[in-house]
Structure 1
Amino acid sequence: MHDIAYPVAALVSSTALAYKLLDLRKDPDNPVLRSLCATLACAAFGFIAATPAIYLPVSTALGLDNLGKLVVHGSLIAFSVCVQRMLLMWNDPPEIALPRARRRVIAGAIVLLAMVVLLTLAPINDSTAEHFTETYATTPYIAEYLLLYVTAVGTGLAEIARLCWRFAKVAGRPWLVRGLHLTAVGAAITLGYCLTRGIYVIARNMDIRLDLLADSSSAFAALGGALVSLGLVLPALGPRLSATARWFGHLRAYHQLFPLWLAVYNAMPDIALDPPKHPKRARWRLTKLHYRLYRLVIEIRDARHALREHLSSEIADGARTLAAQAGATAEQQEAAAEASMLRAALTAVGQVAEIASSGDLLEQQTPIGGSDHVGELTWFVEVARAFNHPPVEREAVGPLRPLAMAAKAMEEQQ
């Protein structure tokens, strides 16, 4: 388990550190970023040092034997102290946060000093053991060392979970709240590492072997540590994730709307504020995507307004009936009706008499879509889906014939 869990946790925490180091490079004087990078560095170093493929050769080469474990354990204690200090500095005013943070730093230093003393007194310099706890759980001074270590780290993790959950209630910003919750969950999971290790050491000294606890503890440490590292960077990373998701959403909407826009542009070129030199290729121009999507919505709406005298209610009723028979929702039925009217109206531009004879014209058009750009975009995307994939009816009659004719005409134009 160690061979898999710790390298994965090391990769996650190192990636989080690298991400924040890029921000620190842009703003090297930011104390919050410096503190966060130091915190993530402790986690990354601890998990890298705990990886057997790294820990064993380095310890042997440096002649540290199992004293190298002090580096691993010390890194996790330092990580716990750094997270607590950072959370206090984030949330409380300096006059309150500084004394509390100082007490935690002093407590961590005392624990580390005691661990150094215990490890120095323990007779463990004869070999380098891959499974330190399992090998030395009953060795003099090591049981005390291990129990002090897991107690100190566990207390810190419980405090991290408590502080994160408390601060999340007043954080306000959504991604900050999510980051605090994720950090709290990660700390709670890592607490399982401390509990399983502590119980294992106590049981071994009572001549009870609970090897399953020893095997599972590294999974708790790796998963919890990775979640804490992600939680610490999520407030900064989250808005960028949201922006990326919005961009892909805009890209999808743009590609769905474009065939409808191209159809109305081919029939009514004057609707375009900035006519493209190559209309069909414009679909693959992805620069200024938000603006281009905004223009598509406006220009489609303007075209619809210009076509209002050509919109037939009979065609809309026929499309609505087909959509209902296909099991479409009420909104999809309305979108299908709108798309059918637009197809027929675009075909009938300049042929008012012909379109009038196919059914009753809509005398007055009520506002369509939402009351803002987002609502209009949502509506026209639904209309574009129906426009791009019109219903196929082998025996189309009455008001459906203009729809079929329009579909065929548009395919020939494209």
Structure 2
Amino acid sequence: MNADTAYFIPAALLLIATLIKLWALLKNWQDALLRAVCAVLFIAALVFTTAAPPVLALINKATGVPNIAAPLVYCVLTAFDGSSIVLLIHWRGNEDEARTQKATRLCVAAYGTIMAALCVLFALGDAPVERLRDLDTYYARTPYIREMIVLYLAAHSVAALTMLVLCWRWSRQVPGTLRVGLLTMSVGNLLTFGYDVLKYTAITARWLGRDLDWLSTDVAFLMAAVSALVIAAGFLIPPLGQGATSRLKALRRFRQLRPLWLEVRTAIPDTSQAPLHWWAPPELRLMQLERDIHDALLRIGPCCDRELGAMVYTQAMTRYADHSRALIVADAAVVTAAVVAKRSAQAGGGLEATARWTISSTKDTADLVSMSLALTHPLVQATRTTAPPERDSVF
């Protein structure tokens, strides 16, 4: 691969990450934090785009000033550093809003001053020979240009270490995908600091009369690309992970509730919507399943036998001495028998008069799941083979 175009690979990947977050932002435009994440990812993509040698050459040619693209790239990189710290400050949040705002203003002022200083130092220096890949080492001993290079690296190092410390500390206080994302960002910022160390080493070698330019031009670039992608992944992991976790939970509950749905499906109204396809979002499939189950339970309500429920409840209490568990088993048994009674009534067998058992395991999805799992309980299975007592028909 051409080294000059290799810069566009991380730029493209970072732009894709930006578009992913932008898609979420379009659904929630008022989310200031999400807007900040999009801005940081976009600036990161802009860093690699402007740092690509073909783009550097284009900027220099368009302005007619040799190496004018260098302070531009350094300013974009400095803007990325400052915006990353500001984002993390607001992402974490603080009970003291005034303290958060003060830290934000301080960070913006500091990095804004650095960007201005970079431009001033370049204007004061003399860099007549265009260098597209090795400007840092080529001008390492040139007055003012040398200070400009050291200043942007120092600002970059401070940002990397600050982000590393903040992400590491915060990761110890939060669970789940947020913790994974913060740890990933910690690794990315450690790699970023490694990029700075390589640059410092190559520049120091120039000061000492040695040539280690390959550390700056080749190895440092590779480390910068990897670190940027790792940091971007750290930003993406929490929202994507939470979404994946939510879908997995919905899919798990859907599968757990399916036995109950199969049990009562003959009582589901004909007007109900046909089951969604398997590729539909799990959350929607779960909502439909729960709705169908609730509709079916309402329709079989008149067939729920209180005598049967009380009998199974007593037997379950004898086994477990647990009211909640016994009630769930009783509900499952009553539902199983009620479906059979409802089907028999629809077939012309008539509905037997009975005191009604109120199914209580419908308060939330967890209750329905427990009742669904209880369908395989021996006491529930026994109701399938036990003939109900004869009563007067109401039809």
| Number of the residue aligned with 1:47 | 48
Residue in structure 2 matched with residue 351 of structure 1 by the alignment:
none
1:206 match: 208
1:192 equivalent in structure 2: 194
- Distance (Å, rounded) in 2 between the aligned partners of 1:169 and 1:176: 10
CA distance in 2, matches of 1:379, 1:75: 61
Residues 1:145 and 2:148 are matched in the alignment: yes
> Secondary structure, in 3 states, of the residue corresponding to 1:97?
helix
Tell me which residue corresponds to 1:129: 132
- C-alpha displacement at 1:283, in angstroms? 11
Partner residue of 1:165? 168
Alignment partners' CA distance in 2, 1:285 and 1:34 = 33
Which position in structure 2 is the counterpart of 1:101? 104
> Any residues of structure 2 matched to 1:204-353 within 5 Å, and which?
204-214=206-216, 215-243=218-246, 272-273=266-267, 286-287=279-280, 289-290=285-286
What stretches of structure 2 of length at least 5 have no aligned partner?
294-365, 376-395
Q: Look up the match of 1:86.
A: 87
For 1:30, give the aligned amino acid.
D
Contact 2:74/2:118 (<8 A) preserved: no
Cα drift, residue 21 of structure 1? 2.2
- Unpaired runs of 5+ residues, structure 1, are 298-370, 381-414
Structure 2 residue matching 1:130: 3-state secondary structure? coil
Alignment partner, residue 20 of structure 1: 21
Q: Deviations over 1:351-380 (max 9, x none)?
A: xxxxxxxxxxxxxxxxxxxx9887999999
Q: Aligned-pair distance for 1:183?
A: 1.5
1:325 alignment counterpart: none
Query: Which whole-Å CA distance do the structure 1 matches of 2:252 and 2:72 have between them?
Result: 47
The CA deviation at 1:128 is 4.9
Tell me how far apart the structure 2 counterparts of residues 289 and 200 of structure 1 sit (CA, whole Å): 58
In 1, Cα distance between equivalents of 2:120 and 2:226: 30
How far off is 1:285 after superposition?
5.2
Q: Distance in 1 between matches of 2:77 and 2:59?
A: 19
- How far the C-alpha of 1:2 sits from its partner, in A, is 5.0
Deviation at 1:159, TM superposition (A): 0.3
Partner of 2:159: 156
1:274 is displaced (CA, Å) by 5.0
**Contact 1:157/1:187 (8 A) holds in 2:** yes
- Aligned residues of 2:59 and 2:68 also touching (Cα < 8 A): no
- The aligned length equals 297
Identical residues among aligned pairs (%): 26
CA RMSD of aligned residues (A): 3.9
Residues 275 and 78 (structure 1), Cα distance of their counterparts in 2 relative to 1, 3 Å cut: same
**Post-superposition CA distance 1:211-237 (Å, at most 9, x none):** 341220011111111121222233222
Closer, same or farther: CA 284–17 of 1 in aligned 2, 3 Å: closer
User: How many Å separate the matches in 2 of 1:2 and 1:221?
Assistant: 14
| Aligned counterparts of 1:99 and 1:284: Cα–Cα separation in 2 | 52
- The one-letter code matched in structure 1 to 2:47 is G
Counterpart Cα distance in 2 of 1:216 and 1:84: 25
User: Residues of 2 paired with 1:124 and 1:379: CA distance?
Assistant: 79
Distance 1:41-1:275 versus aligned 2 partners, 3 A rule: same
Higher relative contact order (CA 8 A, sep 6+): 1
Deviating more after overlay: 112-121 vs 49-58: 49-58
The structure-2 alpha-carbon separation of the partners of 1:123 and 1:167, relative to structure 1 and needing over 3 Å to count, comes to: same
Relative distance call for 1:137 and 1:182 in structure 2 (3 A) is same
Bigger shift: residues 66-75 or 119-128: 119-128
SS at match of 1:129: coil
Structure 1 residue 6: Cα displacement: 2.7
Residue type at the aligned position of 1:241: A
State the 1:71 CA deviation.
Answer: 1.7
Aligned residue for 2:126, secondary structure, equals coil
SS of equivalent residue, structure 2 residue 80: helix
